[in-house]
Amino acid sequence: MSRQDRKKKQKKLAKEEARAALRAHVPHAQRPWRSPVPLEPIDEVRWRIPQRGAMRTHGVVYADESLLPDLREDASLEQVANVATLPGIVGPSMAMPDIHWGYGFPIGGVAAFDLDEGVVSPGGVGYDINCGVRLLASDVDVEGARLESTSKGLERTRKLVDDLFAAIPSGVGERSDERIGGDVLRGILEGGLPFARTLGWATDDDVAHVEENGVIRGARADAISSRARMRGGPQLGTLGSGNHFAEIGVVDQVYDPEAAEAFGLRLGQITLMIHSGSRGLGHQVCVDAITEMLRAAAKYDIPLVDRQLCCAPVRSVEGHEYLEAMAAAANFAFANRQLMTNKARDVFERRLGAELRTVYDVCHNIAKIEEHVVDGAPKEILVHRKGATRALPKDHPLVPEAYRAVGQPVIIPGDMGRYSFVLKGEAGSAETFGSACHGAGRVLSRGEAKRRFERSDVSKALEDRGVIVRGASKETIVEEMPQAYKDVADVVDVVARGGIASKVARIRPIGCVKG
Amino acid sequence: MFRFLDHTGDFALEVTGATPEAALEETARALVALVAGEAPLAERETRPIALEAFDGADLVVALGNELLFLFETERFLPTRLVVDHLDPDHASFEGRLFGERVPRDLPLARPAKAVTHHDATFDVRPDQTLVHLVIDL
């Protein structure tokens, strides 16, 4: 054997030994509960999952009797219990009423961690970092825009939807027509929406009405791998796929006239809601981070009941680097929704002669260091929201000035056939570390949806209801049909009864571009 | 052999192979079927693939994410994977992907963001190897 071959062999052996050593030391913990997971009633909208085994705290699920049967059908409650096993968790492991089976954390999961004793978990944020929703209000109403559900109105809506579909690239891996240089990308990653404003992409008004003013502090562009840049860089300004959408709606109910007025919402008004995130860039940041966090879990001896819950101490190098990369991906997502806003503004101007104003833009896949009251005293903690929306009450300093007298807008999209809601944060959200639900929550798997319906049936049924839909992928429309989701009114009702957020307005869809 | 399983939020996949190598190859086929559906694909190019992971479960997750990366960055979709060498600990392999770069307007079945580690298994048994994956859509 030559010297070179010997060296090669030694190197290979060393690698194998390192891998074997790592495998031997990735600590594994038994899942505390297997379905059916017991739920003890706390009150009519709160249920406790008892602490046992590796759990460090109990679980709290927000739901009422009508939502419980669906919850018991999958492993989502097990996942609430699994999250409770993570070190340094503050308060209970929580699930909002749109909870459904995810990977690692449940979708609808909220968990906060102590900055000194706790961990950060990429699985608690998800692959689509800063997936979120922006609500835009137009200055025209449905009658003025002649989009009412007459045959002529439907045709006008169809043209509007077609134009949006053409203007906003959608579908997996779809790229933007815009080419941005490395310096601009770096600026976006580190500076988010305020940087986009310097390029003329956003207005002061846009920036003022976005969660965290469109920038998660502490972002570092160099914490993002070249693979993440390659994958996601060209996708800035694109919708993506799956449950992402751009939806034209009409305000059809106002429950809280004072808050609606503050948010600039009124009956009959045309709106646009954009649901998207950080695209392939965020997905790759999470993929990269999970590899690192598996190593970190071994290094810091953190027992895992599910590898997707891999994590590192918040104060560790690995934790810090993930938070830097996550913040950069989150900033990319803010800019992404802004660029789509601009494209939609062009379409609305051209088709309807209408302007679109940003009502608010919320993150629902994020981990942020926030101040909340813990054991009676204010404390900074790391709040993971995996499919949950921040919901701050009135007078909170982080609520935009224009809304501070009523509370933060909480945007809760429903399915594409029924309605969505605009809520406002209430004082009761203190118990959820300022968090509410983020949507309707699925009840049917995609496979089950396809077995029950054909694409053409879904499109026709929606059109009969006055909703024009265009989709980028062959399967998405049927997989995303309204019956695949809970009735978002039931979900919103639970957070309202729980005092977490209250209803301001309801929006009925009339046109939807699906990813 | 593979089949898609119901999962409320996402998509799950179960693969069976006569050997660990065959299970990896079949996993690649299943993931491409998930994304591309029945879109016609041809073998126009071959490219090497080499991945390292902690163990078999981690390796099969890494394979899935590599295929999604190649698709999103280059629109490359393989018709098949050939595993030339799989380490005895199933933590790394070398192989070749045969496939093509598909045009942007090719209608695809379904999006996929990532292959997750949740319930990921690479269960090597004397007579077959079983793979289970959950895919974030």
The yes-or-no answer on residue A438 being catalytic is: yes
What are the structural domain ranges in chain B? 2-136
The pLDDT value recorded for residue A180 is 81
| Residues linked to residue A503 through DSSP beta bridges, in sequence order | A423
Instruction: Answer yes or no: is pLDDT of A31 > 90.
Output: yes
Task: State the DSSP H helix or E strand holding residue B96, giving kind and residue range, or none if neither.
Answer: strand B92-101
**A86 — pLDDT class (breaks 50, 70, 90):** very high
The pLDDT value recorded for residue A497 is 98
Instruction: Answer yes or no: is pLDDT of A24 > 60.
Output: no
The pLDDT value recorded for residue B105 is 80
Whole-number Å distance between alpha carbons of A292 and B58: 12
The pLDDT value recorded for residue A23 is 62
Instruction: Answer yes or no: is pLDDT of A421 > 80.
Output: yes
- Residue type for B127, please? D
Q: Closest to A448 (Cβ–Cβ): which among B6, B89, B136?
A: B6
What are the structural domain ranges in chain A? 132-514
**A173 — pLDDT class (breaks 50, 70, 90):** low
- Cβ(A472)–Cβ(A514) under 8 Å? yes
For each of chain B's 137 residues, which pLDDT tens digit applies?
Answer: 999 987 776 789 999 999 999 999 999 999 999 988 888 899 999 999 999 998 999 999 999 999 999 999 999 999 999 999 999 999 999 999 999 999 988 877 777 889 999 999 999 999 999 999 999 98
Quickly name the fold that domain B2-136 has: Archease, Possible Chaperone; Chain: A; domain 1 (3.55.10)
Q: Closest to B118 (Cβ–Cβ): which among A230, A308, A476?
A: A308
Instruction: Answer yes or no: is pLDDT of A433 > 60.
Output: yes
Contacts of B4 in chain A (CB under 8 A): 447
Whole-number Å distance between alpha carbons of A321 and A113: 17
Average pLDDT estimate for A255-272: 98
**A229 — pLDDT class (breaks 50, 70, 90):** very high
ipTM over 0.90: yes
Count chain A–chain B contacts defined by CB atoms under 8 A.
140
Q: Could you identify the residue written with the tokens 């190897």?
A: B129
- Cβ(A196)–Cβ(A188) under 8 Å? yes
* Contact map slice: A 459-478 vs B, CB within 8 A: 473-476
- Residue type for A63, please? A
Main-chain dihedrals φ then ψ at residue A328, nearest 5 degrees: -65, -45
DSSP A268-321: TEEEEEEEE--HHHHHHHHHHHHHHHHHHHHHTT--BSSGGG--EETTSHHHHH
Q: Chain A residue closest to B88 (CA)?
A: A16
What letters, b where the CB count within 10 A reaches 16 and e where it falls short, cover A337-370? Answer: bbbbbbbbbebbeebbebebebbbbbbbbbbbbb
Beta-strand relationship, B129-136 and B11-17: antiparallel
Interface check for B66 against chain A (CB to CB < 8 A): the answer is no
Enter the DSSP assignment of A110.
E
pLDDT digits (tens, 9 = 90+) for A372-405: 999 999 999 999 999 999 999 999 999 999 999 9
Main-chain dihedrals φ then ψ at residue A90, nearest 5 degrees: -110, 125
Whole-number Å distance between alpha carbons of A119 and A384: 10
- Answer whether B136 sits within 8 Å of A227, measured CB to CB: no
pLDDT digits (tens, 9 = 90+) for A444-455: 888 888 788 777
Distance from CA of B128 to the nearest CA of A (A): 23
- Mapping DSSP onto H, E and C, the string for A431-500 reads HHCCEECCCCCECCCHHHHHHHCCHHHHHHHHHHCCCEEEECCCCHHHHCCHHHECCHHHHHHHHHHCCC
A1 vs A88, which has greater pLDDT? A88
Q: Closest to A172 (Cβ–Cβ): which among B11, B112, B119?
A: B112
- Answer whether A100 sits within 8 Å of B107, measured CB to CB: no
Superfamily of domain covering A132-514: tRNA-splicing ligase RtcB (3.90.1860.10)
**A176 — pLDDT class (breaks 50, 70, 90):** confident
Mean pLDDT of chain A: 93
For B60, residues 6+ apart whose C-beta sits below 8 A from its C-beta are: B23, B24, B27, B115, B120, B122, B131, B133
The pLDDT value recorded for residue A172 is 60
Sheet holding B92-101, edge to edge: B45-52, B92-101, B76-86
Q: Chain B residue closest to A129 (CA)?
A: B113
Q: Chain B residue closest to A21 (CA)?
A: B54
